Structure 1
Amino acid sequence: MLACKTECSNHTFTAVLKSCANLSALGIGKTVHCHVIVCGYGLDLFVQAALVSFYTKCNELGAARQVFDEMPERSLVAWNAMISGYEQNGLAEEAIGLFNCMREAGMEFDSVTMVTVLAACSQLGDLGLGRWVHEYINVNGLRVNTTIGTSLINMYGRCGDVIKAREVFDSLNQQNVITWTAMISTYGMHGYGNEAMKIFHLMKHGPPPNSVTFIAVLSACAHAGLVSEGQLAYASMIQNYQIAPRIEHHVSMVDMLGRAGLLNEAYQHIQSMNDIKPNAAVWTAMLGACKMHKNVTLGVIAAENLLAIEPHHPGHFVLISNVYAMAGQMDRVEMVRNVMIEKGLKKQVGYSTIEVDNKTYMFSMADVSHPETDTIYKYLDELMERCREVGYTPAFESVMHEVEDEERAHALRYHSEKLALAFGLLKTREGSVIRIVKNLRVCEDCHVAIKFISVVTRRKIIVRDKLRFHHFEDGSCSCLDYW
């Protein structure tokens, strides 16, 4: 068209930009954007919406937002490609912030808006907003199809409300393999392996499971110690459904065997992966199991393979350091720490969030940024003293080798999840459930401490960490200390 000097229309540009978006062809798309301006379509609503979609799919969110902000009139489609762009790129806070702007602008929402916002709520563990969206769907008569239903199941599951997730699942008039898989995954991440397997077996009366279903099943078995059930499911996947194992299935099998203490079997499974080369996730699962069961020999093998694949990942060095520390080999702990210093590697900063009165608060270790810091610290000190009186003993060995000397005084007591919990207990009514989201795996000491806190405060506490959920109540945890 350009060579023939044929005049382009807004339909031309939207079609070409859509193609560029599907191919993530950033360079060509930018050239098309130049033609858009030259041809006078820079303020065309359809073309602008296509540009927003194009830039978000190319991970150029700054450019997408610039086009969006310049739109004289924003269509529902434009509000949606932008919110979705944030959510799909892991920027859930920005997605929800823009959604709130959309609400303030008096815009009406469609099912695409709802699905995207529910996904953002899932990322952040924002149960309050998730409930609001569910209520909006009901009040406005939006049809809860399998797509919205799956989004609601995932949202409630990721926000810690398993009962509500199951209610949504049971209420669906239509269920496909994705909704079944979402329910299995929800039970699995909460440690309810038996419930996950019951759902899986009920699928005999529903759609056949797919590859993703078996990932959810194997993960559920791994988190609940259901080794024989997991092995049967793995064999069934290959023999009955002719599904070839993917790397994710292998990771779950190694994780399942390793957690159960079957380290040799886990290592043999890795060696049997003739068709697929073990990746970092496989060796991380193996190394984590070696740390859990204090097997230094296999741990060193796993560590060497892991560092060969990802030599600059600080989390791997921390895990390796933990293996040595658990075995009492402090000289090697020091060696690993020195390597990290030489490479300029730092541990990922841990933080925890808690929602109180529809507002989210974030805490990091030894955080003093909150205006009520003194009150929070005083209450936490009193709380831990009450826990000591009923038998709590700090697990010093679990973290003392991980921190620098100047941090040691606060290394255990003032972890981010403890600070968030203290704040939540101070600010919420008696008997209400406390929900905390942490970006890293909960440490051994915090896990023990929160069990005691659930006793002395008589509160149910739900913690979502990087890998799974922990439901603390009356001194016990739903994971049965198997995490």
Structure 2
Amino acid sequence: MAFDPTPAERGVYHGGRLKGAECTWDAKGSRVDNVVVLASRGVGASCRCPTMPLCRPETCSSGNGGESTFLNLLFIKGGRETMFIKSASVSMSNEGTTYSRPKGNIQFLNSVPSFQPSGMDSHHPSPEYSSLLLAGPRAGALKQAHARIIVTGHSRSLPFITKLATLAVAAGAAPYAHLLATSHPAPDSFLFSSLTRAAAHHGLPVAAIAFYRSLLSAALPFSSFTFTAVAKACADLSAIRTGTAIHAHSIVLGFGSDRFVLTSLLVLYSKCGQLGVARKLFDAIRDRGVVAWNAMISGYEQNGLAERGIEVYREMQAAKAVPDSMTFVATLSACAQAGALDLGREVEKRIVSERMDISVFLGSALVNMYARCGVVDKARRWFDALQERNVVTWTSMIAGYGMHGHGHEAIKLFHLMRREGPPPNHVTFVAVLSACAHAGLVMEGRDAFDCMKRIYGLVPRVEHYCSMVDMFGRAGLLDEAMQFISDYMPGEPGPEVWTAVLGACKMHKNFILGVEVAERLIALEPENPSYHVLLSNIYALSGKMHHVEKVRNTMIKRRLKKQIGFSLIELGGTSHLFRMGEKSHPQTTEIYQYLEELIHRISAAGYMPETESVLHELEEEEREGALRYHSEKLAVAYGLMMSVGSTTPIRVIKNLRICGDCHLAIKFMSAVENREIVVRDKHRFHHFKDGKCSCLEYW
């Protein structure tokens, strides 16, 4: 039954009913003068006291889907000695508050403070109650507070209910908070707005949206803070449709130009990949705060547009906006993706000069940036210097070693992580298995895969199976790769797995299996041009030119275009992009002339173009010409031309896998120019020095 007692009605509950203001019994026959309800965990059931039953043998239930919380009845004897009965159930529903019989026996406690409810009134709460409500989001303290509010007649006090419900959300009890709010006869806008903000802040986005909808259903006024909170919740869920509706609602209510609302919506659209809308909102914000700048930088970076993110960081510098640590985290991540080592070093210098606290997030970003920009030794120095490392830090360093071909170092660090660091996660094992694949560490890869399942209980995902197949394939163990697919993979393998097999077939010239796998891939995804290109290459390598022509005609008929390769090189903080045979660079004439001279020199040193992968219907001279102006050769030539006399390594990023001829040519270039040349392709790093590559031809 619904119950809202006043201070004068304090007493003992019998079967959900209030029974007088005094109780004349206890376990020792002593008189109990007052009753205070305090909360704790438990399960409502029957109670048998040492002297008499406290409740009738029935239980109350709302029957309306209400949520139950479990209370303790705390009997204060007037002195230090205190008794309590465990677990009386309080059920909340929209129709009121009901009680079930308690469970357990009366016990004596001496440590519970004696709160006297008699000193309260509805307008001036005592300090004891204020301190209880401000104690923080602890479930026990909150239920104690709720029980005391009920007993003292404040269950309809909005300030009390708002504070209690907000703290309940912070404690993770959002349904309980929702029932507190909806069971109040006259909830106000501030109550639901506070709950929306609390839920969004404490990582309960679904609850935040539910509170927003309750506010909408109640036809209560909205504030800008409500919209900022619910937009954050939508961003956390990537709920773009709900977020778009909320955006429209904010405009209708006149919040369309509010800086805080626009910023939160900017974060939403950035996280959901709607960068065009995000940029329009960004441009519409007159006085941009650091959150808006950070959202735009990270939005571009997370959606694969690192160069655009770097441009926004430069805009931020020009606007003299003050960055924070999250600005640097986002910018370093963009540098890692784009290979912008110069800017990454600039950011690092600023972090050090301003003596910023190196949080685990900032430290991990520095490790990742240096690892992905080809300076793995500097990445390790930052890793060792960090006082705190999380799973991202460890994984970034392991992945860095793997990308650079340092498989043994990756395995050593993985073992150290298992001894001293946090438990590895799925991403960690992808990094470990990839490191094994690129270093030919088949036995270590098998052990890691077994460890993942047996010791850490992690269920392998597609990327783990792909890494294992790739590892077997690169090692030339194609039969084992196919056996692994048959024995371990649940269900039918997807395109990712067959692509790994096909790459191995091409590498080890297993044309029969390669054609079979390529045709499987085309059957799975007939509109994917990369599979047609791979099949064409397999046919070309095996000399079946009529099949090559057939594949090319199919691509033309279906209007499928292969992905265009390009290479990037950063000089003086500026990125220069090259495509095969392209002549749009302002120094094109000088670059091509320098490359011709360079090819002449490496040819004199023994370089012979690797032409077998070029279409066989071309004459040998034509095939050499088709290889001569690949984008990575142009980028390396430009880097060497612009840094004559320097000993700084040349760093190039290729969006596709480096071809065999360019790999061979750059080895010779590193020898004749006496320069280290670092190329990051789609799969790994290649460090060319003194005519050798760090991959040891295992790529």
TM-score w.r.t. the length of structure 1 is 0.96
- Alignment of 1:198 with 2:415, yes or no, is no
- Report the equivalent of 2:581: 366
Worse-superposed segment, 233-242 or 420-429: 233-242
The answer as to 2:427 corresponding to 1:238 is no
CA RMSD of superposed structures (Å): 1.9
CA distance 1:434–1:351, shift in 2 (3 Å): same
Tell me the equivalent position of 1:122.
Answer: 336
Deviations 1:283-339 (A, max 9, x none): 000000011111122212321321222211111111111222222222222221121
Which deviates further from its counterpart, 177-186 or 297-306? 297-306
> In structure 1, the residue corresponding to 2:595 is in which secondary structure?
helix
Report the alpha carbon displacement of residue 380 of structure 1 after superposing the two structures with TM. 0.6
Question: What is the match of residue 462 of structure 1?
Answer: 678
Supply the AA of the counterpart residue of 1:143: D
Task: Write out aligned runs for 1:273-288 (5 A).
Answer: 273-288=488-503
The partner residue of 2:298 within 84, 94, 97 is 84
Deviations 1:324-369 (A, max 9, x none): 2222222222221121111111111111111111111111101111
After superposition, residues 29-48 of structure 1 pair within 5 angstroms as: 29-48=243-262
| 1: CA distance, partners of 2:425 / 2:266 | 34
Corresponding letter in the other structure for 1:413: R
**Offset, 1:402:** 11
Moved more, 118-127 or 426-435: 426-435
What is the DSSP-based 3-state SS (H/G/I as helix, E as strand, rest coil) of the residue aligned with 1:422?
helix
Percent identical among aligned pairs is 55
Residue of structure 2 aligned with 1:154, choices 357, 360, 368: 368
- 1:384 deviates by 0.5
Is the CA contact (8 Å cut-off) linking 1:400 and 1:411 kept in structure 2? Answer: no
Whose Rg is larger? 2
Name the structure 2 match of 1:55.
269
Q: Distance in 2 between matches of 1:435 and 1:185?
A: 19
Count how many residue pairs are aligned between Structure 1 and Structure 2. 483
Indicate the larger mover: 61-70 or 24-33: 24-33
Structure 1: distance between partners of 2:507 and 2:270: 41
Give the letter for the 2:232 counterpart.
K
Show CA shifts across 1:390-433 (max 9, x none). Answer: 11000111233599999857421110111111111010143221
Which residue number corresponds to residue 56 of structure 2?
none
CA distance in 2 between counterparts of 1:60 and 1:240 reads: 41
Distance 1:204 1:343, change over 3 A: same
Deviation at residue 31 of structure 1 after TM alignment: 3.0
Q: Pick closer, same or farther for the CA change 1:394–1:409 going to 2, 3 Å.
A: closer
Tell which deviates more after alignment, 90-99 or 395-404. 395-404
Pair 1:226-2:441 in alignment: yes
Partner of 1:68: 282
Q: 1:431 aligns with which of 642, 647, 660?
A: 647
- Which is further off, 146-155 or 14-23? 14-23
> Higher strand proportion, which one?
2
| Separation in structure 1 between the aligned mates of residue 353 and residue 619 of structure 2, nearest angstrom | 54
Give the CA deviation at 1:42.
2.0
Which 5+ residue runs of structure 2 have no aligned equivalent? Answer: 1-214
Deviation at 1:80, TM superposition (A): 1.0
Please give the alpha-carbon distance, in whole angstroms, between the structure 1 residues aligned to 2:236 and 2:247. 16
Distance verdict in 2 for CA 1:404–1:165, change over 3 Å: farther
Letter in 2 for 1:144: I
For residues 302 and 16 of structure 1, what CA distance do their matches in structure 2 show?
Answer: 48
Report the 3-state secondary structure (helix = DSSP H, G, I; strand = E; otherwise coil) of the residue aligned with 1:255.
Answer: helix
What residue identity is the alignment partner of 2:233?
S
Q: Judge conservation of contact 2:609–2:624 (CA < 8 Å) in 1.
A: no
Question: Residue 277 of structure 1: CA displacement?
Answer: 3.4
Name structure 1 gaps, 5 residues minimum. none
- Cα distance in 1 between the residues matched to 2:351 and 2:617: 47
Relative distance call for 1:404 and 1:132 in structure 2 (3 A) is farther
Higher relative CO (Cα under 8 Å, sequence separation at least 6) belongs to 1
Change (3 A) 1:64 1:220: same
Equivalent in the alignment of 1:449: 665
Structure 2 counterpart of 1:249: 464
Aligned counterpart in structure 1 of residue 510 of structure 2, from 274, 286, 295: 295
Aligned to 2:256, the other structure's residue is in SS state coil
Q: Give, in angstroms, the shift of residue 101 of structure 1.
A: 0.7
More helix by proportion, 1 or 2?
1
* Residue 688 (structure 2) aligns with: 472
Moved more, 199-208 or 394-403: 394-403
1:270 partnered with 2:500: no
- Provide closer, same or farther for how the CA distance between residues 261 and 382 of structure 1 changes in structure 2, counting only shifts above 3 A: same
